[in-house]
Every structure is written in C-alpha cells, then in structure tokens.
A and B are shown apart, each in its own frame.
Chain A
C-alpha cells in the first residue's frame, strides 16, 4: 500500500517529556498537512508544507510545537514539554496537483499522563 503512513501509531508519555511523530506522505505528493483531533471533535488544521517550506501555522500550534519537512519528503512533528491537553490524535495528510484532494494517514494517538 502506498498511502500516507504515520509512526508511531500510539504514544504514551509523561507530562513534561518531548515526543516526536513521523509522517511519510504518498510518494511525490508535494503538499503535506498536520491536523489534530480531540475526542468528539473533527480534525483541526495545525500546519502545512509545500515541498520543504512550511507555509502556514495555525494559532493552535504553540511554541512548544515544531514541524519540519527536510528535503520535502517525510515530515516530523515534535512536541516539547508535553502537557495533558496535548493528548489527541495527530493526523497527517498529503496532496498534489490542482485538485488538491488530501489523503490522510492513520494518525498517531498521543496520551500524556
């Protein structure tokens, strides 16, 4: 399957620890997105890359969050000094072309104790 992949699928951490998630987009998709989803809500946009350039960050993305996409392929999302409110599903999506249909990965579920 050549869909979007995310690792790890689940992460449990203690408050104050740093965590990093990885997203591998569909091959040759030049746009990559991160979303966050809390229980009972729809996904919310966090940030967006076109190739290696991070073009927009949501106000949801505090300074404890950082995302990178070196070489315009995979992306990482790091959360420093995690808080219990960071517990959520972190979703990655990728797209290409004019039609801009975004395809999502399975998500990384984070639990901060």
Chain B
C-alpha cells in the first residue's frame, strides 16, 4: 500500500470548516483513499472513502486532486466532538484476496476543535 503524509496536528474553531490534508504521491491506480478517525480511547471510526471523484456523506466531504496525489477531508461545520486523530489510508478498495485487505495506519493528524 502507498504511504501517506499528514500534518501531526491542526486546530479549528468550532463552527468553521476543518480541512485536513493528506499527501499520497505514490498511490496506484487501483488504490482508494480511506479516512478514519479515532476519538480518545475509542476504536477507529470509518468516515469516507473515494477513488478519484469527490465524495460526500453525512459526516464529511472528500476532495481528491485530479492527479490523485493528494486529498483533503472536509468537515463542514466542526464541533467539539470532532476533536480526534484523523487517519488517511490508501488501500486497494475492492477485495481480491492477498495482502490488500489490511489497513496500514500512520500517526494521523490530531484535530483539535476549539470553542
């Protein structure tokens, strides 16, 4: 799986949009970008994933650059409960056996939402 690079920490004001960047310059054509977050002392929570098109769900939006070498997770109106470590992971998205199933986590970005 391709490696990702994320800033170690970011701050955001409550109610504002939080934009979390991720670089994945060695991503392969069949690798998806996944985002998870982990609130203190809890298990990771799936947020969103995408291949090349921008994606949106009830939690967030994912913007992937045209060359797919980087992406941004957007939380449109951050709340205090969004304070967490956010992990960007690239991985083959379609199960096809072999070793592509496991998630390889880095250290992620600690997002702190301030009142």
Contacts and interface: CB of A to CB of B under 8 A. Distances in A.
B95 A98 contact: yes
A85 to B, nearest CB: 19
A41 B93 CA distance: 24
A100 B94 contact: yes
Contacts of A102: 46, 103
The interface size bin for chain B is: 20 to 34
Given A42-B87, A98-B95, A103 B105 contact: no
Contacts, number: 61
Interface residues of A, number: 28
B43 interface: yes
Interface in B35-55: 36, 41-46, 49
Interface of B: 34, 36, 41-46, 49, 85, 87, 93-95, 99, 101-108
Interface of A: 4, 6, 31, 33, 35, 40-45, 48, 56, 91, 93, 95, 97-107, 109
